[in-house]
Amino acid sequence: MNAPSASFSVTLRVVLVDARQIGAVTATIAELGASVVALDVVEGHADEIVFDVTCNAVDEDHSARLRQAIEQTDGTRVRAVSDRTMLVHLGGLITVTPKVPLKTRDDLSMAYTPGVARVCEAIAADPAAARNLTIKRNSVAVVTDGSAVLGLGDLGAAAALPVMEGKAALFQRFGGVDAWPVCIDSHDVDEIVRTVELIAPSYGGINLEDIAAPRCFAIERRLRASLDIPVFHDDQHGTAIVVLAGLVNALRVVGKAFGEVRAVVLGVGAAGTAITRLLVAAGIGDVTAVDRQGILTPATPGLDDDRAWIAAHTNLARCTGSLTDALAGADVLVGVSGAGLVTAEHLASMGEDAIVFALANPDPEIDPVVARRHAAIVATGRSDQPNQINNVLVFPGFFRGLLRAGATAITQQMELAAARALAGIVGDGERAATYIVPSVFNPAVVPAVSGAVEAAARQDALSPSS
């Protein structure tokens, strides 16, 4: 299932005694299942030629095997190997650039002292002026404790920094939003909440990222109550919005009514909880949530407040049992759990024209090739498969709309509006089983999502100008 990816791209500097051996090198790479991206001659000498071959591998072990195989080819020597992903992150992904020129004494007098003192006094007299006179109006803190980094687990604050840098870069690239990583070296809820409260005056919004459940729920809930700027846990709500948008279009493709289908959500962590809540709010006919203990019911032991809410508002028939029982006859499966938890037999038991979102990363709950044998529509979180459910479709535009409106909080109506707007980008003439959500590079995405969120914020009276 795994395919060569740019995330495991390497450049090998190869020395040959005969230029005609380049073909043997590229053939070796192809035989090992990697893909050649570029060939560049670096040096030419009478007795040897040096060239760079850039190729995409499947993983780090695969890259090592490529080097070994090339070195075993007669008349070749690998001088060096460069990991292109590591080079991209060398020195970090983001920087700070002034928006105004600082070339003359007058420039310095206005941007800094003594002129800046007047700006400080204006904000002291009217704290709300900070939104117009500082970066606050277009800035977001990307906050993590490093406890749930991608699919890698608890790596800690320092190891989470590259992901937060990447998130900040995506905020700017797609939404024009200035974001900054805030990696907190603590797993204590009180410390995290207090830290964010203390830095909040610098920001127009807080994006929580890669914080493990159930801690993430308490942190978001408390920050939303104490701050006058919007707080958004992207792993929860960003995922839920894209899932809902994709599901709206998937149901249109198979011709099923939104309010009449039965959906199963596998995994009741951060993403699964938010997805379930949003599907219920959107009017899905019936939702069944399944975790390690099986189908959630009010009688399931050890439920916290969030899971208790899910148990009370889903599984209308109060069925019990396992994933096998939940999927029998179901129309939709949304998996946010782990690799290999769903079998072909599970999908074969689902209803006609089933829809399967297998979103565990990097490896989904079931091989999408196998899933497509049984389901009409299959989506994953992977970029090498059609229908990628990717949060970058949401958070840049979502925060763009919040910041433009000067929103003080986030409502479920904003999330529903964002999902409808995202779904609407894929028109009737192009919607298909392999195209239910737009590309992240579609220029219509951010304006559609931001416009919907801004309108919802004003309608909900959460904007100063509403």
Domains of the chain: 5-88 (3.30.70.260), 139-229 (3.40.50.10380), 236-466 (3.40.50.720)
- CA-atom Rg of the chain in angstroms: 25
pLDDT, tens digit, for every residue of 97-147?
A: 999 999 999 999 999 999 999 999 999 999 999 999 999 999 999 999 999
Q: Is 17 a residue whose pLDDT tops 90?
A: no
Percent of the chain with pLDDT over 70: 98
d(CA 232, CA 241): 12
pLDDT at position 74 is 81
Question: Under DSSP, is residue 79 helix (H, G, I), strand (E, B) or coil?
Answer: strand
Please classify residue 228 by burial: count the beta carbons closer than 10 Å to its beta carbon, then call 0-12 exposed, 13-18 middle and 19+ buried. Answer: exposed
What pLDDT band is residue 73 in, cutting at 50, 70 and 90? confident
Q: Whole-model pTM?
A: 0.89
pLDDT at 465: 59
Q: Is 324 helix (H, G, I), strand (E, B) or coil?
A: helix
- For 190, the token pair is 């009180």
210-228 per-position pLDDT tens digit: 999 889 999 999 999 999 9
Cβ atoms within 10 Å, residue 24: 16
What average pLDDT does this structure show over 304-312? 91
Pairing of strands 5-16, 49-57: antiparallel
For residue 52, the cross-strand partners are: 13, 40
Q: Specify burial of residue 107 (Cβ count, 10 A radius: 0-12, 13-18, 19+).
A: middle
Residues in the chain, overall count: 466
The rounded distance, in Å, linking the Cα atoms of 127 and 138 is 16
Q: How high is the pLDDT of residue 23? A: 87
Residue whose structure tokens are 């700027």:
229
Residue with tokens 């392999």: 434
φ, ψ (nearest 5 deg) of residue 158: -65, -45
Query: What does the pLDDT look like over 236-256, one tens digit per residue?
Result: 999 999 999 999 999 999 999
Please give the pLDDT value at position 466: 54
Average pLDDT over residues 333-350: 95
Which residue type does 114 have?
Answer: P
Residues acting as catalytic residues: 112, 167
Quick check: 1 pLDDT over 60?
Answer: no
Which runs of E-coded beta strand occur in 203-338?
Answer: 205-208, 231-233, 262-266, 286-291, 294-295, 332-335
- Whether the per-residue pLDDT at 460 is higher than 80: the answer is no
Mean pLDDT computed over every residue of the chain: 93
When pLDDT is cut at 50, 70 and 90, the band that residue 463 belongs to is low
Residue 358 in contact with residue 343, Cβ under 8 Å? Answer: no
Q: According to the model, what pLDDT value does residue 303 have?
A: 87
Partnered with residue 14 across adjacent β-strands are 51, 78
Percent of the chain topping pLDDT 90: 79
